[in-house]
Structure 1
């Protein structure tokens, strides 16, 4: 099985909103719509819809299973600066389990799906023009325990595939944390890249947006996230994130 991160060591910088306090209350999943942001040079730039016991934080527990779904720019992996539909998973944080996209047996692709993990997403948003969106829905099937991924490009999400329940232990029961937001990765020897559109969250005309954020309960009913949830920004001089209000928030920044 390929190692999870077959890339050079990169420094992560995060701008996230945490829904984990809500996720702990019930068997909750996530539905949200993201801006499809263009590449920001030879750096990694991603939007995250993610869930796990501890996800994308330095304190992530070594044994914590997790999955990740997003629209990402990842030159170290794809050798270009285009935006891709990206998935990854792991049984723990060792780097020895799981993989990206379809690089190993794990994620099961639906036959005939018009989009797949590792597929280029086009068109992308124009900071001075039209916003392009991808809607990502991830939920646990009540009967099988599989975690399904549905996606839609400027449209309602349709089935793409699923992570079998057999891949995980605690995550096969329910998610205990959910994070949405952005992160960038960069070589520690160079300046950090822009995040999102390159605009701070306060510039709502230009900043990257995640909207229509809804939690999905075990019976498939959705609830708009309308209360202000905790946020995490690892360097607020470079990036910012607004609180969730009315099911949406803004994030990003120009970096150094």
Structure 2
């Protein structure tokens, strides 16, 4: 992959798209994330993400995400995936936990390339969201674009073991259901930086910081997130 194709992606997609307003809310959260890929056949694979998130100031666990999917390799470095996401949230209201479930179907296209020894991943995800908000059922759709670069800093030449730095960003674009859900066309950005250790080709352990910026109708939310990740593949 030639650098002239990588550079525009990195410049454009690692930028922060902040939207300033009078009302700002700052929160501090913790996320624990496990991502797994399982090869099923020469071109088929099973993927699975599970994530547990805390409320503000690590008060309690308020979000559970489970995301399985089946992927097909159309080329060695390109995969299409069809999957399902369960997204459950629990928010405290008058010392009671209010449960709001969300079910999603997603279609995904992922491209993995290398610039020298730096793996670069581009991912496009289209989601159909079936939400329950304040006892109202809402259907919405959005597009998510994600880019990630893993930079070896103290690793062996083929990067199968060693320390690395992870840089990534993800943008969220709402294309349907904005009026019902109270969301803008562009309402979320997630830049992230972390460091990790690759034990072998099958296992990475990583910790880092994410700044999640959410644009809402009445206020904007800035989440300072500490994330611990386990990434496995077999």
TM-score range, shorter chain: 0.3 to 0.5
Identify which of structures 1 and 2 has the higher relative contact order when contacts are C-alpha pairs closer than 8 Å and 6+ apart: 1
**Structure 1-normalised TM-score?**
0.30
Larger Rg: 2
**Structure 2-normalised TM-score?**
0.32
Q: Which structure carries more strand by proportion?
A: 2
